[in-house]
Structure 1
């Protein structure tokens, strides 16, 4: 197996309190490799994992070709455009790729590829989980602050779609245009910025660049909780998860890496564990055999979140419960009780079969 990463030059943000770990994602794959090797030793199976990291501006496709020449199973840590470009390479036609980085809808929808499975939670799974929780609390009147970057705009649209889906109102929205040093001025700027919002239950924030959202809580004109990109958040994984033996995975990860596990780490961990489980059950390393088994009703993975994880047969997305968390605690685990589905309650989160225009998977 190969973990292929495109390094990115991160734009400056207003705070340096939470630097992004250099081994984000990679560390999750390493911990999963150790777990998988232990199981494989009893079966006579051996696993190896190469890491390829391409510097900003480097030739990512050339690195992908070389990786595919050596390995038919590749975990891709890149942008949606980079993931699609690799999936469309002739060398990738018979390979099995895992998207461990992008939650973009397009990869599960019109731009899906049959050779790409997704262990990173779709962005809509995050926002649907949040809206289920807000609806259950009857916090249904919200306002929205949207950051200036493209990923902020996209996340805002996802928040709006999930709000409409679950009957949560977005009464008003404003674009964040400040470049003030909020470390000094948050107490003066943010109350004025939020003063003209109508009365609401929750302030939603779309700040996927993690730029200004941290300064909104406790500085708004009205004393209201914040949610979205800060405050209450829907996540595939969070350090506050402790039930369902999650604390054991957290402890193994922290002992091996020296930091807490993130959603990107968990996506890489589940991707490699998916391969380990499929190889164990099929006694095969053929990507086509593994893919068929992974997408079948026979596959189930223990993801330490209270339910077995499976894959959606129509677009390759990993089904998983989503944690709604704050900085210190798990608030809810979605799907919440009462949200029913004709086949699988976890399909109330994210793009459901009737909503998806993906045709690459057939059926």
Structure 2
């Protein structure tokens, strides 16, 4: 009771001292730290140049629809820093113009920006870095996370495997850092739900597989033995496509390819998702991707908080967003909210193949004492985050 009273008091004080947003401009920044693309075996699906940015612009359009009736004028200033550029300098400049900033950057850059003196008192949204550590020991009070963490995605996948009774699991992992992190998350999720990943192999090829996959991959996977499902950790889209339909045993493939857990997918068609997809295609000319959805959700979170409170100051918005009163319609069948212990956006995770939804996690039967969405990712007892005071 005391914790809820203090939270309510904090919200009331913040709202009382914030400047009213009516008839004012709510300036929002979007800062992208461009990353050099690593060499991969396949380049069939290059990232669009406006990845993430298009999602923020779609969120801006949706937010302006409501804001125009309330006298709220939202603007979005996008800054993209090339590899090797002065990201921190760009962040200081962006924070000088807006105290609300979306960060499309790797985890170390997010932390460096959050720790800037200029960022104290600002409200930052991590829309790209899935690293669980940002929601754990390295959390920051001024950073909220709309991109699903790697742990949320792997928890969703393991729930689906259990529901299908695919419990005899083997794995193939790439050698990149992101692949190792995804494999570690798969191991953690399997243990969390009482499973264990059995035999595993590291992807050992660095040659063009387009002609050799049908002969090399069966031999590579032969000694994995029999199993229910093969998990692939290939977060860079390097080799996973060559695993599909080429394994020694005809078994389902999941993880980074095949049946995949995503923050968002074009395969979502219920709960008004089709309308969101269509609006996005009309403005961007392509499908909404997970990075776009995370940026859209950040923009919409700001808009929803401004609409409900009537204030635009970061402290007032943060207090409301982290309160029990906040809900966001994320077109995923359940209202979305933020975890008070680490700032992560609670959200269902679609587990999909490229053309259809397989399941929406949390899967029926996975229960939680407070919110079933907290079966996905780091629950309060699991985190070592003290910045949020919960």
Alignment of 1:312-351 (within 5 A): 312-351=339-378
- Consecutive aligned runs of 4 or more in structure 1 exceeding 6 Å deviation: none
Name the structure 2 match of 1:128.
155
Q: Superposed, which structure 2 residues align to 1:112-123 within 5 Å?
A: 112-123=139-150
**What is the distance in 1 between the residues matched to 2:289 and 2:150?**
15
- Map of 1:21 onto structure 2: 48
Which SS does the other structure have where 1:3 is aligned?
Answer: strand
| In structure 2, distance between residues paired with 1:231 and 1:167 | 23
1:96 corresponds in structure 2 to 123
Once the two structures are TM-superposed, the CA of residue 238 in structure 1 deviates from its matched residue by 0.3
C-alpha displacement of 1:32: 0.7
Matched, 1:239 2:261: no
> Shift of residue 198 of structure 1?
2.3
CA distance in 1, matches of 2:70, 2:216: 61
Task: Kindly report which structure 2 residues correspond to 1:287-306, keeping only aligned pairs within 5 A, or say none.
Answer: 287-306=314-333
Q: Secondary structure at the match of 2:197?
A: strand
Does residue 199 of structure 2 align to residue 178 of structure 1?
no
Would you say 1:355 and 2:387 are equivalent positions? no
Pairing 1:258–2:285 present: yes
Unaligned runs of 5+ in 2: 1-27
Q: CA deviation at 1:314?
A: 0.1
Do 1:5 and 1:53's aligned partners in 2 also have CA atoms closer than 8 Å?
yes
Counterpart secondary structure, 1:41: helix
Maintained 8 Å contact 1:140/1:167: no
Report the Cα distance in structure 1 between the residues aligned to 2:106 and 2:62, rounded to whole angstroms: 28
TM-score by length of 2: 0.92
Counterpart contact for 1:324–1:334, Cα < 8 Å: yes
Q: Deviations over 1:193-236 (max 9, x none)?
A: 00000210000011111100011010000001100000011111
Deviation at 1:342, TM superposition (A): 0.7
1:281-336 Cα shifts (integer Å, max 9, x gaps): 01011000000000000000000000000000000000000101011100000111
Query: Once the two structures are superposed, what CA deviation does each residue of 1:149-198 show, in whole Å capped at 9, x if it has no partner?
Result: 11111110001111111123311111112112111100011001000002
Deviation at 1:16, TM superposition (A): 1.6
| C-alpha separation in 2, matches of 1:272 and 1:360 | 23
Q: How does 1:270-285 map to 2 (within 5 A)?
A: 270-285=297-312
> For 2:217 and 2:194, how far apart are their aligned partners in 1?
28
Tell me, in whole angstroms, the C-alpha distance in 1 between the residues paired with 2:154 and 2:241: 18
**Aligned with residue 207 of structure 1, among 234, 246, 253:** 234
Aligned-partner Cα distance in 1 for 2:277–2:41: 29
Q: CA deviation at 1:276?
A: 0.2
| Residue 11 (structure 1) aligned with residue 38 (structure 2) | yes
CA contact (8 A) 1:135 1:167 kept: no
Residue matched to 2:71:
44
8 Å CA contact 1:171–1:198 kept in 2: the answer is: no
**How many residues were matched structurally?**
363
Query: Residue 4 of structure 1 contacts residue 64 of structure 1 at CA under 8 Å; is this kept in 2?
Result: yes
Give the one of 107, 110, 113 matched to 2:134: 107
In structure 1, runs of 5+ residues without a counterpart are none
Distance 1:245 1:57 in 2: 41
Give the structure 1 partner of residue 336 of structure 2.
309
